[in-house]
Amino acid sequence: MALPAERLHPAGARPGQAVKRPVNLEQLKDFYRQWYTPDMMTLYVVGRVDSRSLSEQINKTFSPLSGKRETPATMPTLAPLAPQPVSLMNEAIQQDMLSIMWDTPWQPIRDSQQLSRYWRSDLAREALFWHLQRALEKSPQKDAQLGFDCRVQYQRSQCAIHLNTGNANLKSALEFVATEMAAVRDNGLSQQEFDDLLAQKHDQLSKLFATYARTDTDVLMSQRLRSQQSGVVDISPEMYQKLRQAFPGVADAGVVASGAETAAVAGRHAGAAAAERRSGNQHEAAAGRL
């Protein structure tokens, strides 16, 4: 059922139609008050400020607002990835790309136990990519470029393995990646791989706060906003450092192997489906939910 015209446009017109003149200012104010007044805002302040003056300015600006939401705000959520391959064409892309993607529901991080579980999952994903990268360098497919990324968007945690190679090599490269993912699923990492990975994580941790101190403010703000959008609880840098330093000591190869198993299953299903689609400039295989 279509909404009345006045609900679709503050000036009483439907999208695509010219605005009626003269504009009814009261109607315009009512529209913005109903649809554009936020229920809650979070203010991030960077730099040295007068906290008392800032607090007074905020109260002065927002205290005249009145009223409250009568129904709970709807939380936007992405639908789960479909388990079918998708072929996308883009004339601007110079290199063919195959993406194996999977997603899971995102659970907001509210305490140290949830944070530790997230770090274990993150370590498993990194171990999987690390193994693929090393195996690729020693294989006939070493000219292919491998990429890996994970992100949280609208209550879904999505990960993807990107394979950039010529169209003629896509099938063999995909079969190689699927085979290596299955090997991680069945056998986990070798002890040498696991030791090297933990050594790298310890080295990164030792440089964490030195890197943090040199990071631009806009990057820190962007990271903090992403954490806020993903429901990550605030903790002090000192507490974060303490938890992070303790984490590698409880990690073991079994944790990494079990965490990588679901990704390997997704990759094998993606490989079987995507190998049938070998045309186009860009190939993207949606492996579906884990």
Q: What is the pLDDT of residues 140-167, one digit of tens each?
A: 877 888 889 888 877 888 899 988 888 8
Q: Which of 153, 150, 155 minimizes the C-alpha distance to 106?
A: 155
Cβ-based burial of 48 (10 A; exposed 0-12, middle 13-18, buried ≥19): exposed
Angstrom distance (rounded) from CA 19 to CA 11: 6
In a domain, 69, yes or no: no
Please give the model's pTM, rounded to 2 decimal places.
0.62
Whether residue 264 sits in one domain with residue 182? yes
What's the domain range around 223? 85-289
Residue 182, domain member (yes or no): yes
* pLDDT value of residue 48: 77
Residues 143 and 104 in one domain: yes
Same domain for 162 and 260, yes or no, is yes
Cα–chain center distance at 71: 29
47 within some domain: yes
Residue 3 confidence (pLDDT): 38
Give the CATH number, domain containing residue 246.
3.30.830.10
Residues of the chain with pLDDT under 70: 1-17, 19, 37-39, 67-74, 248-290
**46 and 101 share a domain?**
no
Task: Convert 265-279 to b/e letters by CB count within 10 Å (16 or more is b).
Answer: bbbbbbbebbbebee
Here the tokens at position 74 are 């709807």
CA 216 to chain CA centroid, Å, is 21
Query: Does residue 112 form part of some domain?
Result: yes
pLDDT at 287: 31
Count of structural domains, the chain: 2
